Amino acid sequence: MSTETRRRGAVDRLRASPFLSKLLSNRLALVGLAIILGMLAIALYARFTLDPQALASSRLGTEIPDRAPPGWTGSAAVDQYLFGTDSAARDIFRRCLYGAWLALQFGTITVGLSTVVGVGLGIVAAYYGDVTDNVVMRTMDVLLAFPPLLLALALVAIFPRELGLWRAVAALTLVYTPRFARVIRGAALKVLEDEYVDATVALGAADPRVLVRHVLPNTLAPITVQSTLNFGLAIIDLAALSFLGFGAQAGTPSWGLMLSRGVENGLLTGRWWLSFFPGLFLAITVLGFNLLGDGMRDALDPRMREAID
């Protein structure tokens, strides 16, 4: 079979996929996907073209004016200060662009870690049951009993301040893990009721093989949806922790920290651009992940709405 024939066969299978056909027919999901791809392009551009140290350094005392309004208002050069400058005379436009890289980078790490830990705990609890299930899920219930942001604030205070956004990642990983564990445990219990799992166990398959080769692949749908929905939550919670002073260190071009400094230095003085543009980038990014997550949930199984919500 030629390479071209195999490529056409793969394309035909993708076109015939019920999931893709439903997802591509959802206009809001496509809007969300377009937003995410746009933010990813911005993040990669900022990562490879902008210097984070230069973006974090204060420009006070130079020829650059501090808290200058956006360039398109006619008060500054458009090519230099499209979004204006902040209280340290730094370019808000470039800082917002690099903030996209930080948001996607640390959001991916947070969701990835919580997915791995939560999925592992959920599958193990469903498979072994009894004492293991009670210990794991009761621990998850205790964590779920606390408001997420309040629990994150309590956990983030444990880690050294020098870790910056990494301590926020560690705290949010612990906060999000119970959500994955609960959802995946329910999905795994349904898979374990199927006869082919009993047949695999009867043939002498080891527990790791049953979990990895048979249970895990059949729980990918809720894992994918939960990860996509939690991505938006992770980005906004990382920004919230930075806004409250428990995330990014001073000077870091993080959207949450920029919002905090913008509110502090411009909310009551009419300098709206200090906090408007970081907030706009944050809102658009979270909206994109929420739209895509909702579309994927409806395309995979509308009944998952009740389980995930």
pLDDT digits (tens, 9 = 90+) for 76-131: 444 567 888 888 888 899 999 999 999 999 999 999 999 999 999 999 999 888 89
Phi, psi of 64 (to 5 degrees): -80, 125
pLDDT grade, residue 282 (50/70/90)?
very high
Question: Residue 210: inside a domain, yes or no?
Answer: yes
Instruction: Report the CATH number at residue 116.
Output: 1.10.3720.10
pLDDT at 249 over 50: yes
Predicted pLDDT of residue 161 = 83
Residue 259, both tokens: 């919002």
| 23 domain-assigned | no
What is the structure's pLDDT at 178? Answer: 93
Rounded Cα gap, residues 93 and 104, in angstroms: 17
DSSP 282: H
Is 4 part of any domain? Answer: no
Average pLDDT over the chain, rounded to whole? 84
Among 300, 157, 145, residue whose Cα is nearest residue 222: 300
Phi–psi pair at 91, nearest 5 degrees: -70, 115
Q: Are 281 and 99 in contact (CB under 8 A)?
A: yes
pTM: 0.85
Angle at 128 between CA 125 and CA 129, to 5 degrees: 70
Quick one: DSSP state of residue 70? P
Q: Which residues contact 205 (CB under 8 A, 6 or more apart)?
A: 213
Instruction: Give the residue-averaged pLDDT of 255-274.
Output: 86
Radius of gyration of the chain (CA): 23
Average pLDDT over residues 21-27: 79
* Cβ pair 59, 90 in contact under 8 A: yes
- Quick check: is 280 in a domain? yes
| pLDDT in the model for residue 13 | 55
Residue owning tokens 């009894």: 130
CA pair distance 177, 116, nearest whole angstrom: 8
Domain count, the chain: 1
Q: Residue 174 and residue 116: Cα distance in Å, rounded?
A: 11
Tokens matching residue 293: 């997550």
Buried b / exposed e across 129-141, counting CB within 10 Å, b at 16+?
Answer: eeeebeebbeebe
3-state secondary structure of 2: coil
For residues 125 and 131, what is the distance between their CA atoms, to the nearest angstrom? 9
Strand partners, 85: 91
| Average pLDDT of the segment spanning 256-274 | 85
Model pLDDT, residue 149: 86
CA angle 197, 206, 173 (to 5 degrees): 85
Distance, in Å, from the CA atom of 235 to the CA atom of 107, rounded to the nearest integer, reads 5
Res 229 pLDDT > 60 = yes
Asked whether residue 179 is domain-assigned, the answer is yes
N- to C-terminal Cα distance for the chain?
A: 46
Alpha carbon distance 172, 232 (integer Å): 13
Percent of the chain residues past pLDDT 90, beyond the cut:
38
- The answer to whether residue 17 is domain-embedded is no
- pLDDT at residue 78, as a whole number: 45
In a domain, 171, yes or no: yes
Chain-centroid distance, C-alpha 40:
12
CB atoms < 10 A from the CB of 3, how many?
7
Give the residue numbers spanning the domain of 293.
Answer: 32-304
Question: Is 309 domain-assigned?
Answer: no
User: For position 12, what pLDDT does the model report?
Assistant: 54
Q: What pLDDT digit, counting tens, does each position of 169-216 carry?
A: 999 999 999 999 999 998 888 888 878 777 877 777 787 888 888 888
Among candidate residues 259, 262, 267, the one with its CA nearest the CA of residue 243: 259
Which pLDDT score, from 0 to 100, does residue 8 have?
Answer: 54
Q: What local confidence, expressed as pLDDT, does residue 9 receive?
A: 52
Q: How confident is the model at residue 278 (pLDDT cuts 50, 70, 90)?
A: very high
